[in-house]
Amino acid sequence: SYVLTQPPSVSVAPGQTARITCGGNNFGSKNVHWYQQRPGQAPVLVVYDDSDRPSGIPERFSGSNSGNTATLTINRVEAGDEADYYCQIWDSSSDRPVFGGGTKLTVL
């Protein structure tokens, strides 16, 4: 089955920019979605279809997808952004959604 690779952890100081990557084969042809999951809470969709933001999600959150890597970028990181972040795609070869393993964002 399709494998999405995320770094286990990313650390960033408040006010800086965090970049979380998600990799896979032939990634550029797939729509990538990103979820934020704070401890003890349900996931929240923060970016869909590579770079679109649902209503209510701050403009600090943005996404891109090129080649074999998608990136979630969080500008001007705040303490409240500390969470696990998951990427997700639709694997057309298996006709199934697939999640990445998740990245823990730590705000120093």
Partner 1 sequence: QVQLLQSAAEVKKPGASVKVSCKASGYTFNSYGISWVRQAPGQGLEWMGWISGYNDNTDYAQKFQGRVTMTTDTSTSTAYMELRSLRSDDTAVFFCARALAVAAIGAFDIWGQGTLVIVSS
| Maximum distance among all Cα pairs of the chain, rounded to whole angstroms | 40
Half-sphere exposure of 16 (CA within 13 A, CB side): 12
Question: Quick one: which of 73, 63, 99 has its CA closest to 20?
Answer: 73
* Site membership for partner 1, residue 57 (CB under 8 A): no
For partner 1, the binding residue among 33, 77, 83, 107 (CB under 8 A) is: 33
To partner 1, the closest distance from the beta carbon of 91 in angstroms equals 10
To partner 1, the closest distance from the beta carbon of 30 in angstroms equals 11
* Site membership for partner 1, residue 43 (CB under 8 A): yes
* Site membership for partner 1, residue 27 (CB under 8 A): no
* Site membership for partner 1, residue 31 (CB under 8 A): yes
Binding to partner 1, residues 87-106 (CB under 8 A): 88, 90, 95-102
Q: Which residues bind partner 1 (CB under 8 A)?
A: 31, 33, 35, 37, 41-45, 48-49, 54, 86, 88, 90, 95-102
